[in-house]
Structure 1
Amino acid sequence: MLALILAFLSASIRVNGANITDKLFPLGTTQLTNADVEIFSSLAFGVPENAVEMSSCRAWPGSEDWPSEDEWTRFNASVDGALLRPTPVASACYPGPSYNAATCRWLAQQAGRTHFWIDDPLSVLTQWPQGDTCAVSINPKGNCTRGGSPEYVVNATIVKHIQAAVNFARNKNVRVVIKNTGHDFGGRSTGAGSLSIWVHNLKSFEFLPNHTSDAYRGMAVRIGAGMESWELHNHAAQYNITVVAPGGSTVGAVGGWLAGGGHGGLTSKYGLGSDQALAIDVVTADGRFLTADPRTNQDLFWALRGGGPSTYGVITSVIMKAYPPSRLTSVSVQFSVGQGSTIPASSPFPLYNFTPPLNFTFPNITGSVETFWRGINIAYRFSPRVLAVGGYVYSYIYPLGNSSFTLTSSASIPDLDAATITSLMKPLYDDLNAAGINVTLPMIRTPPSSLSSGGGSRTGGGGGDSPINTRYRSRLFPRTNWENDDLFSKTMTAIRRGIEEGGYTFHGIAYSPTYKIAGSPGADSAVNLAWREAVLHGSYMEVQPSGLSAAQARERDAKARRYTDLWREVTPGAGAYMNEGDPAEPDWQASFYGLENYERLARIKARLDPWGLFWARTTVGSEAWEVITDDGYPGSQNGRLCRVR
């Protein structure tokens, strides 16, 4: 009898499509019920089999189908007062009722040193997709408008809030966006006329020392969707474990990072972020709360790991693998050529694991620009040796004008002693010196404490971030390009042209998340197959200026494509990382997902979300919709979302 009682207590109970167990996070124990729907019918759950095509455009403020004030008020009551309608914070800089000179100065000069922008419900860190309609400026031009920012935000703290938001938006034909920290380079976390589901405050954490499933036995953690990398690090340090996490301290540790693949400092040792997931709790487009794992909702589990963010549902929490504590040792290489080799600390592209003084100058090489590029080839050709021991190489090549260039590079190597690391890295320094680049192998000292989250974060408050219009154009370069001398030479020549001729900063991240490293269940996922063959994620980076016309923006896209097309020529069939990719990526279905995966993902999307509720640019199924803007600015979310005609 006792065994039967225990079996009953541990069994799953189905309520409104949800798997409710005694192991649910507190945030998942309060869910939307039929009683809630009886009070407010606009919260009714969806039935995919009965879905009908909705209107040609999403509801728009002022349109006949836009919810009335009374409906928004009733919806707010249904989410316990969690509905927000925030004003863009930079309105403090513009004439009007929100103007405040002191606040504006603080936003411009101090806010980026704090967690302010990450914790703001409306702000995104890459503003050009929003329209740059209310940028911080001590001397602003024009007026502050809402632009591409959402109309309303649900500050979700329990699953019920997310279910209610999903159902209300679907039933009232309102556009939905999903946001955590605002780290988003392609405009997925913002959208005009939308209801934003803000998961930033889902911060729960639980250590599972003996997690057991069909695919995995060992340590694990369960984390809420609002967890940031630095927060995960702090929790992991408390239990003396390692959890794979993003390199940026304020980047969300699950959600879009995991759904896009997700790399970090331990990618070559333990795999991608998506390889870590053992079970995922998610609210799907019909408003149901589901658990997806290798045995339950298997297609959804497959799709959520690498198949794209903001596509199949709203992730609320994830169970991820945990490991013994790792100790990352960083070894840096820097050299420059030319007169302009001083990089200001205010550079928008800082080096991970490298903290310079206020202004820093790298030793100039004795030789020509050709000598510099020989050194670049040596440094990048060496990186697979670091990957072979589970390491990760993070680098930038800065074009500084007047034929001046600087390389900064940092190799992060886990769990090797100083003597072994010295022996590993010495051939690189020997080869550079032989090529005429006078660099000295530093004395290797392993850190006194472990890095518990496998990212770039450290114990503390997470630091700050500021809005900046960083634009990425990226490619995953396969191992075969490193194994053939002629192909490697062509690859580096293609990279060089964009730096020298185009003026782009090159950001290289070397890692190797192979199928073997991914393990079970990570190897069987929707991750682009190009990840498994990659040894370098390369990006051209720039800051897209504010105030560009649509024609000017298209010209910049066309210029960038001339150089990234050179990459495609030397990497046929390879892909790109969607979270740090170009929203104007040509053939993005193949580049971001791989055509082998895309067809299956499209079928899963159509089955789970026949309404097309979850939409973001370059996500699966997004071809069916487009944002209609007044000026046709490419990639802008400052317009109404409509079906493609």
Structure 2
Amino acid sequence: MHLLLALTSVTVLVGGCFSSAASIKGGGNFTWETVQLTTREIGNFTALRFGNPYFASDVDDDGPECRAFPGSSDWPEESEWKQLNVSLGGGAPALLRPVPPGAACYPTDSTHYNPATCRFLVRQAGLTHFWIDDPLSVLTQWPQGGTCMATLNVAGNCTRGGYPEYVVNATTVKHIQAAVNFARNKNVRVIIKNTGHDFGGRSTGFGSLSIWVHNLKSFEFLPEYEQGDYSGMAVRVGAGMEAWELFNHMADHNITVIAPGGSTVGAVGGWMAAGGHGPLSSKFGLGSDQALSINVVTADGRFVTADTENNEDLFYALRGGGPSTYGVMTSVIMKAYPPINLTTVPLSLSVNTPPMPTFNFTLPTNGTIPGTNTSWTNFTLPPISPGTRTPGMLSDAETFWKGVRVAYKFTPKVLAVGGYTYSYIYPLGNNSFTFTSTASVPGMPASEVSKLMQPMFDDLHKVGINMTNPKLPENAGGAYAGRRMNGGGDQPVNTRYRSRLWPRTNWENDGLFNRSMAAIRTAIEKGGYTFHAIGYGPSEEVAGYPVTDVGSGLNPAWRNAVLHASLMEVQPTGITAAEAKERDARVLKYTDVFRQLTPGAGAYMNEGDPAEPNWQQAFFGEDNYDTLLGIKQDRDPWGLFWAQTTVGSEAWEVRTLDGYPCSQNGRLCKVKGWEWDRKRSTLE
């Protein structure tokens, strides 16, 4: 068994995470950003010395073949880790060596086994912020290796697997600089983590040092901000901010800021760096389109500001050019807008599903969820009459799929007025399916939204689905940014996404559109996959400045997208490497058809497949990739920041013991025979 104890008595920071550090005035840095590493503090501790990209050797030059790992001859001595801990200083523990929470479930670990804690992790922790606030945990477990699962049915021992070896709890820029310098100088793999929302394995890694930015939660409203050609409202947001926290700040200041749809997803960082979609993407653009200025620690350990006038190459790359690649974001200044309402029209269809039976549902007890202030009391839902069918409950599969086609065909009409659509198609077995969809339009009176949607309901009627366009009251619009939230909870799952950005071309040709819908139907009916689609149109015109003036590293395929479409499944835990490869090969039969129907389009990296073929083109765009690679090579010739399918990552590979595809449970090493073709940024 391989469990490591903390260097300090505090290893995990849990509980309420809504906090705000002291903010600055006039758009300057946050107070904790002024706390930076100095040469005097480095002294004779050479492991913390800053780097110089101009004198660095390229990745494929002579040097260690692999990153250091516990037990290797080049792994830092315990005394060096202790000296790093001292150098970090500060009041709260900064260098952590936490134990995986799942250790509480393993009787073989006499030190950490706790049945009561294990039951909490399995049954209640997902209702709280526990997993989001844990320095090690990631919400998609298979890339870590699933080596220490929180389960009541344990097998074997809890091992560290792909979890990082140490975690720097960053509360100042100095902490990040020290971590970056130490990792670079000591040949240690480094990863960056906030909440652990990560479907591709970027927030975990065997033998790594994790930079945990979760507690950088400062916020400042800037009612008058000027940057380049921009003049208007803005906000400065710390890298640890979650969407629910950002929404609360919006409510406090009566403003709108573009944020993730998931309440516990980080509001900047990886979400923004890969594009970042949300309910207002067709109105104001993607998350990456909002950034006006970005503070970042680069691979040489320097703290710099990137905007239209300073470090323009970084400003380009950090806005859509991929996460965990060019540096560690500490804060971002983003555009802010006046408050806006969203009016939503739902649609639900099902086929071969039985009518809802009569039932009563009662929560068994009164109580409070551990770790939260949320409580419940006994309540009973009113009984639902048996045999009830709604117009959306169909008995004919062909009619069901015609209805789905009508809804998706109407998507561009919603996007044209700045709206977005959000839908799922679930296979339920025995040729039964459900389709749920919402169309949401910002800033439009409810009566106008009803008029907008009426043609869709007319077309549904024409294919035999007699559904009525709901008559929305004039106060139907819900405030996008005026509601307060408590964050909710999340728990580890193994959802696997394979996504594609479907372009406008597929809607402009009826034959191509019909083939596209047929491919989706086949993947659901024969493949058994859940289909998830979000409709939006984040064009450059919608994005506005600075995209219209200086561009961005975003995949150009986004600008012509109508639908971000995904096939979803849950990757079973405990399967072998061979079984995982078989699952990858099986889904390729369906996603390859999607690619053939969308030549030259791409995919959203944050909800994409880490095994995506030709990922350079899919996630970044073929022409854009060379520019981004030039920036990567200029800024990080050491290849310090690495995550799979990020720019420049093809120079490295994770060597697992069992060959499990895309797992991070293995040593990070250079690809044999790889030649780093030195590029220069083509950015002017």
Query: Per the shorter chain, which TM-score range?
Result: over 0.9
Cα distance in 1 between the residues matched to 2:457 and 2:670: 56
Kept in 2: contact 1:341–1:404 (CA 8 A): no
Q: Which moved more, 1:522-531 or 1:534-543?
A: 522-531
Tell me how far 1:434 sits from its aligned partner: 2.1
Cα distance in 2 between the residues matched to 1:138 and 1:340: 34
Tell me how far 1:441 sits from its aligned partner: 2.1
Tell me the residue number matched to 1:435: 463
Cα distance in 2 between the residues matched to 1:211 and 1:202: 22
Kept in 1: contact 2:26–2:222 (CA 8 A): no
Equivalent of residue 587 in structure 1, options 614, 619, 631: 614
Cα distance in 1 between the residues matched to 2:394 and 2:433: 13
Letter paired with 2:351: V
Cα distance in 2 between the residues matched to 1:358 and 1:525: 53
Cα shift readout 1:64-115 (whole Å, capped 9, x = no counterpart):
1101110000001111240000000011111112111111111111100111
CA shift in 2, pair 1:22/1:212, >3 Å: closer
CA shift in 2, pair 1:22/1:185, >3 Å: closer
Cα distance in 1 between the residues matched to 2:156 and 2:219: 45
2:273 matched to 1:264? Answer: no
Q: Secondary structure at the match of 1:119?
A: coil
Tell me how far 1:310 sits from its aligned partner: 0.1
Tell me how far 1:136 sits from its aligned partner: 1.3
2:28 matched to 1:23? Answer: yes
Tell me the residue number matched to 2:396: 368
2:452 matched to 1:452? Answer: no
Equivalent of residue 420 in structure 1, options 448, 451, 455: 448
Tell me the residue number matched to 2:378: none
Q: Secondary structure at the match of 2:131?
A: helix
Kept in 1: contact 2:427–2:525 (CA 8 A): yes
Cα distance in 1 between the residues matched to 2:665 and 2:26: 42
2:542 matched to 1:540? Answer: no
CA shift in 2, pair 1:433/1:365, >3 Å: farther
Cα distance in 1 between the residues matched to 2:669 and 2:521: 40
Cα distance in 2 between the residues matched to 1:471 and 1:551: 17
2:85 matched to 1:79? Answer: no
Tell me how far 1:443 sits from its aligned partner: 2.9
Q: Secondary structure at the match of 1:481?
A: helix
Equivalent of residue 92 in structure 1, options 104, 117, 125: 104
Cα shift readout 1:189-208 (whole Å, capped 9, x = no counterpart):
00000000000000010011
Tell me the residue number matched to 2:676: none
Kept in 2: contact 1:229–1:252 (CA 8 A): yes
CA shift in 2, pair 1:152/1:514, >3 Å: same
Cα shift readout 1:193-226 (whole Å, capped 9, x = no counterpart):
0000000000010011110111311000000000
Q: Which moved more, 1:570-579 or 1:358-367?
A: 358-367
Kept in 1: contact 2:506–2:513 (CA 8 A): yes
CA shift in 2, pair 1:385/1:41, >3 Å: same
Q: Secondary structure at the match of 2:456?
A: helix
Q: Secondary structure at the match of 2:464?
A: coil
Cα distance in 1 between the residues matched to 2:647 and 2:240: 23
2:417 matched to 1:403? Answer: no
Cα distance in 1 between the residues matched to 2:467 and 2:102: 46
Aligned ranges for residues 111-510 of structure 1 at < 5 Å? 111-339=125-353, 363=390, 365-445=393-473, 446-447=475-476, 450-452=479-481, 458-510=483-535
Tell me how far 1:426 sits from its aligned partner: 1.4
Tell me the residue number matched to 1:49: 54
Tell me the residue number matched to 2:370: none
Kept in 2: contact 1:340–1:405 (CA 8 A): no
Mark the runs of 5 or more structure 1 residues left unpaired by the alignment.
Answer: 1-19, 346-356
CA shift in 2, pair 1:561/1:121, >3 Å: same
2:77 matched to 1:63? Answer: no
CA shift in 2, pair 1:573/1:104, >3 Å: same
Q: Secondary structure at the match of 2:337?
A: coil
Tell me the residue number matched to 1:14: none
Q: Secondary structure at the match of 1:489?
A: helix
Aligned-residue RMSD, C-alpha: 1.9
Tell me how far 1:342 sits from its aligned partner: 7.4
Cα distance in 2 between the residues matched to 1:219 and 1:195: 37
Letter paired with 2:68: A
Mark the runs of 5 or more structure 2 residues left unpaired by the alignment.
Answer: 1-24, 362-380, 673-684
Aligned ranges for residues 98-113 of structure 1 at < 5 Å? 98-113=112-127
Cα shift readout 1:310-354 (whole Å, capped 9, x = no counterpart):
000000000000000010111110010013687999xxxxxxxxx
Cα distance in 2 between the residues matched to 1:202 and 1:633: 34
Letter paired with 1:467: P
Cα distance in 1 between the residues matched to 2:246 and 2:307: 22
Q: Secondary structure at the match of 1:396?
A: strand
Cα distance in 2 between the residues matched to 1:21 and 1:374: 55
CA shift in 2, pair 1:291/1:622, >3 Å: same
Equivalent of residue 640 in structure 1, options 651, 663, 667: 667
Cα distance in 2 between the residues matched to 1:586 and 1:341: 43
Cα distance in 1 between the residues matched to 2:403 and 2:287: 32
2:637 matched to 1:610? Answer: yes
Normalising by structure 1, report the TM-score: 0.92
Letter paired with 1:629: T
Q: Secondary structure at the match of 1:300?
A: helix
Letter paired with 1:253: A
Cα shift readout 1:565-609 (whole Å, capped 9, x = no counterpart):
010111000000001000000000000000111001001000100
Cα distance in 2 between the residues matched to 1:161 and 1:591: 35
Tell me how far 1:438 sits from its aligned partner: 3.0
Kept in 1: contact 2:224–2:231 (CA 8 A): yes
Equivalent of residue 623 in structure 1, options 608, 631, 650: 650
Equivalent of residue 40 in structure 2, options 12, 32, 35: 35
Letter paired with 2:325: T
Tell me the residue number matched to 1:352: none
Kept in 1: contact 2:247–2:485 (CA 8 A): no
Cα distance in 1 between the residues matched to 2:488 and 2:354: 30
Q: Secondary structure at the match of 2:251?
A: helix
CA shift in 2, pair 1:366/1:614, >3 Å: closer
Q: Secondary structure at the match of 1:495?
A: helix
Percent of aligned positions that are identical: 64
Cα distance in 2 between the residues matched to 1:58 and 1:431: 59
Kept in 1: contact 2:446–2:476 (CA 8 A): no
CA shift in 2, pair 1:432/1:38, >3 Å: same
Equivalent of residue 566 in structure 1, options 593, 597, 601: 593
Q: Secondary structure at the match of 1:503?
A: coil
Q: Which moved more, 1:506-515 or 1:52-61?
A: 52-61
Q: Secondary structure at the match of 2:112?
A: coil
CA shift in 2, pair 1:253/1:509, >3 Å: same
Normalising by structure 2, report the TM-score: 0.87
Kept in 1: contact 2:445–2:477 (CA 8 A): no
Q: Secondary structure at the match of 1:118?
A: coil
Tell me how far 1:448 sits from its aligned partner: 6.7
Equivalent of residue 577 in structure 1, options 561, 584, 604: 604
Tell me the residue number matched to 1:553: 580
Kept in 2: contact 1:335–1:362 (CA 8 A): no
4+ aligned runs moved over 4 Å, structure 1: 340-345, 357-362
Kept in 2: contact 1:366–1:436 (CA 8 A): no
